[in-house]
Amino acid sequence: MPRGGDPRFGADADDTDCPILHVDMDAFFASVEVRRRPELRGRPVVVGGVGPRGVVSSASYEARAYGVRSAMPTMRARALCPGAVFLPPDFAQYSAASRAVMQIFRDVTPLVEPLSLDEAFLDVAGARRLLGRPARIARMIRQRIFEEQRLTCSVGVGPSKFVAKLGSSRAKPDGLLVVPADRVLEFLHPLPVGALWGVGERAAEKLHRLGLSTVGDVAAAPIGMLRGALGEAAAAHLHELSRGRDPRRVNPEQAEKSIGAEVTFDDDVVDPVALRRAMLSLAQKVGARLRAAGHAGRTVSIKVRLADFRTVNRSRTVDGATDVAREIFETSWALFTALQPGARAPGGATEPIRLVGVRVEGLAPAGTLPRQLALGAPEHGWREAEAAADAAAARFGRSVVRPASLLGGDDLRRTENRPRPGVDPLSDPRTPS
């Protein structure tokens, strides 16, 4: 049954002409952490930057009961839920769990469109003859994810992507909701205008000023009224959605365009050694994520944000595709040193830096883009060493194998917003228990 117990949209509702599924993992990062640490089950768990400038990436439903939400500053989350367990993210673990979940989807249908690590659209029209009706397929997917991955998900079943995604959000947590094709407007029209795809806070405020508070209000409003408030394109978009019209197909070719990592320092940094080590750590993360995703890219970019929030981006396209952290670091550090971020402060010191980021763009499956070895470089070397480190990290944790320059010293650990190596976050005095 959906949240609220409305039988019109329960798991046994009519799913005729409802070939689209939206599967959304429940509190994904937090759930993977609880799976790794069963003693945390039932406790509020928050994943994200653990420093004073950190941001929440994921919160368990126990933490959400206190008002903790994704994208919230960690300091705010600590104030709302001081008894929560705060953990730094481990994207290698989340990527591995995501690949396993996506494989379950692809066992059902090749028409899978991932939106992120933890959600995807599926078109199951072609799977009906073999596996049954869409709601039955949704139940099977949920069961497999729970039995094989010990994780839960919520699924929306509907005639379009927009309706299916709304369905999964209203089935949370750990639920299944079916929106019959002939009841789409019954489902949509009572919802708040913020449920419409593309309506953020500002657009919602404009609609509210026009007296439009529900999706049904938007559907009944003259298109000219919407144009005057939102512009031609947005008005047409919302007019169609409010009537349940969404012609977009599930696109399995939707490819990830870039993979990156960035860090906001707990305190603004001027020390070039600390900056170099931070960027090396970021390059290590990006390389690991590229290899985990089976991607390589030709363009390396950096982002630098100064203490006054001025932000500068630079990029360089290299000769061959790479997923090697050493090569990513060498290119990103060359970009950084050439940039000389910020004007020089009085006395010759570099302006304080608030954030740095490293990203690889122009992605394609590893091996499909040309890879060019440096003159005299061995055919095997850094990539093989890093792949071996990946295997060790998958078994023992990412902190087991790290570059020697990242060992020791508290400045980098603060930079990475992570607990000290060898210290259980549950017993770390900086982490509430």
Cis peptide before 173 (omega within 30 of 0): yes
Residue 24 assigned ligand-binding role = yes
User: Taking a C-beta distance cutoff of 8 angstroms, is the pair 259, 286 a contact?
Assistant: yes
* Residue 119 a catalytic site member: yes
- State residue 61 phi and psi, 5-degree precision: -65, -25
Instruction: Return the closest-CA partner of residue 92 out of 145, 33, 151.
Output: 33
> Facing residues of 404 across strands?
none
- State residue 69 phi and psi, 5-degree precision: -140, 160
Residue 12 assigned ligand-binding role = no
Locus of tokens 């228990």: 433
| 71: CB partners within 8 A, 6+ apart | 55, 56
365: Cα separation from own chain's centroid: 20
The whole-angstrom separation of Cα 165 and Cα 154 is: 10
| Active-site entry in 33, 62, 113, 119 | 119
Instruction: Return the closest-CA partner of residue 28 out of 121, 105, 98, 114.
Output: 98
Phi-psi region of 205 (alpha: psi -120 to 50; beta: other; left: phi over 0): alpha
Q: Strands 119-123, 85-87: parallel, antiparallel or unpaired by DSSP?
A: unpaired
Task: Output the known binding site.
Answer: 24, 118
Which residues are identified as catalytic? 119
Task: Output the known binding site for Mg(2+).
Answer: 24, 118
